[in-house]
Structure 1
Amino acid sequence: MVVRCTRPNLKAINQSINQSIAGEPPALPEEIMMDSKSERSVSYMPKWLVVATTLFVVMRIGDVFVSRMLPNAVTIKPVNGIAWTQIPSREQLVAEAKRLAAAPAKPVQELSPQSQEQLQKLLADAKANNKLLLLEFYADWSDPCKKMEATSMSNSQVSQLVDDRFMPVRINDTQKQFGVNARFVADLQKRYRVFAFPTLIIVGEDESPVASLIGNCSSLTTYRFLSRALATVTAVRNGFSPTLTSQSFTNTSQL
């Protein structure tokens, strides 16, 4: 180790001694004065920048993981900036809905004698009042059911059309709450192939489905569905052969 000695600054030392005798604080030599700002390291980084950088890296790692582990997932980024991952994607749901709509109808399943008798009574009551039987397959735990009831079914034009031309009957599913459905409910769900809630089905006099509407649909879609079903039944009763005797609507915009 090499120690270098330098000649002391006698002038500065004498000046400090004189100031001490006079009661003034001694002035430091210029060579040992230091700016307080120079104490900060040149590598200093604000804490908020460190936190932001860490979060960005973690999010990028998460995106890479999701894209590799879930290839069928789609990321939806709304206006508020939250990036939700929806599985399956909307495109897959729409494709599945179209496939189900295009599939040929399966043979109608027979009802139990008790269910058959109950359905016949409903059809007879509807016919006696010159109305069509409208079945609504509903579930109290289903949010789409609650939304449709509060919007489309509460629309004045829709409710008026139902009151005038239909006999509405709600088939309430209780499988989720109580672990079992009533026999009539289970039989109707099997016969009319109900797999989602809400589902509206208009039943003809021969117990066959005239038209069905699946999902939480807008007021306009619901009104058109009911109107077209009425036109179809009227044409059949008058001896005409309508171009469409059975209609199936799926509200893909809500999927």
Structure 2
Amino acid sequence: MPPASPRTTRSQPRWLLVALPVLLGARVASTVYEKHHPSQPHSQVRWLSLEEARVLSRERNLPILYDFTAAWCEPCHMLERQVFNDLDAAQKINAAYLPVRVTDRMNEEGENPPEVKALQKRFEVLNFPTLVYVAPDGGKVNKLSGYRGYSETLEFLLLPSPRGFVPQKKRPPPTPPVEAPPAPAPGPGAP
């Protein structure tokens, strides 16, 4: 009788030893790619061209909302994910404004198209994201630089929020501090 072999009669799946490192490498590569190229869900806001918005603003008497953004700007991506991709907020924006996305291409192409340069100069856009809304007559301009969260963005846009925001009334200016009365003059017997 032959001695019992410590080995099993099953053969080892050699293909698994090759596939495991390949799959692990692919997973690491996809994670690195996704970090540098995050997927953006489709915006719920109906973005218009600048010319479309100008024509419709006169026809419908609605303000134009400019979203100044850049591809490399992480706060811009947060604004997109948290506000523009939120169905409730997007519906309110679409109803109250004529939204126009203005994308800065300075880092990618070395310069911006003349139309983008002119808008950035007109509204003094120095950082991203910047939201600007302009009255239909072009007169009144309101600007918010930077992303400050969902509720503050909707408050700036004067839109009610399903997350508990109620537009606040303008607060009266703070009262100036009361000055202390002058110290009494020393009496006749003071040193």
Q: TM-score when scaled to structure 2?
A: 0.53
1:22-75 deviation per Cα after TM superposition (whole angstroms, max 9, x unaligned): xxxxxxxxxxxxxxxxxxxxxxxxxxxxxxxxxxxxxxxxxxxxxxxxxxxxxx
Task: Please state how far the C-alpha of 1:160 moved relative to its aligned partner.
Answer: 1.6
Aligned to 2:84: 153
Return the alpha-carbon distance in structure 1 between the equivalents of residues 137 and 60 of structure 2. 17
Matched, 1:122 2:53: yes
Secondary structure of residue in 2 paired with 1:122 = helix
Q: Which amino acid aligns with 1:190?
A: K
- Report 1:134-173 matches (<5 A): 134-173=65-104
Contact 1:152 1:217 in 2 (8 A): no
RMSD of aligned alpha carbons: 2.6
Return the alpha-carbon distance in structure 1 between the equivalents of residues 114 and 155 of structure 2. 32
Bigger radius of gyration among the two: 1
Return the alpha-carbon distance in structure 2 between the equivalents of residues 143 and 123 of structure 1. 29
Secondary structure of residue in 1 paired with 2:127 = coil
Find the partner of 2:117 among 182, 186, 202.
186
> Which has the bigger relative contact order, CA under 8 A and spacing at least 6?
2
- What runs of 5+ residues in structure 2 fail to find an aligned partner? 1-48, 160-169, 172-191
Aligned to 2:131: 200
Which structure has more helix as a fraction of its residues? 1
Q: Give the number of equivalent residue pairs.
A: 114
Q: TM-score when scaled to structure 1?
A: 0.40
After superposition, the Cα gap between the structure-2 partners of 1:160 and 1:222, relative to the gap in structure 1 and judged at 3 Å, is same
Task: Please state how far the C-alpha of 1:223 moved relative to its aligned partner.
Answer: 1.1
Aligned to 1:218: 149
Return the alpha-carbon distance in structure 1 between the equivalents of residues 93 and 154 of structure 2. 9
Contact 1:201 1:209 in 2 (8 A): no
After superposition, the Cα gap between the structure-2 partners of 1:172 and 1:209, relative to the gap in structure 1 and judged at 3 Å, is farther
Aligned to 2:35: none
Task: Please state how far the C-alpha of 1:121 moved relative to its aligned partner.
Answer: 6.1
Return the alpha-carbon distance in structure 2 between the equivalents of residues 120 and 149 of structure 1. 23
- What runs of 5+ residues in structure 1 fail to find an aligned partner? 1-117, 229-242, 245-255
**Percent identity of paired positions between Structure 1 and Structure 2:** 30
Task: Please state how far the C-alpha of 1:147 moved relative to its aligned partner.
Answer: 1.2
Contact 2:62 2:135 in 1 (8 A): no
1:138-163 deviation per Cα after TM superposition (whole angstroms, max 9, x unaligned): 10111111111111222333212111
Task: Please state how far the C-alpha of 1:184 moved relative to its aligned partner.
Answer: 0.3
Contact 2:62 2:136 in 1 (8 A): no
Task: Please state how far the C-alpha of 1:119 moved relative to its aligned partner.
Answer: 6.1
Task: Please state how far the C-alpha of 1:209 moved relative to its aligned partner.
Answer: 4.7
Return the alpha-carbon distance in structure 2 between the equivalents of residues 205 and 164 of structure 1. 14
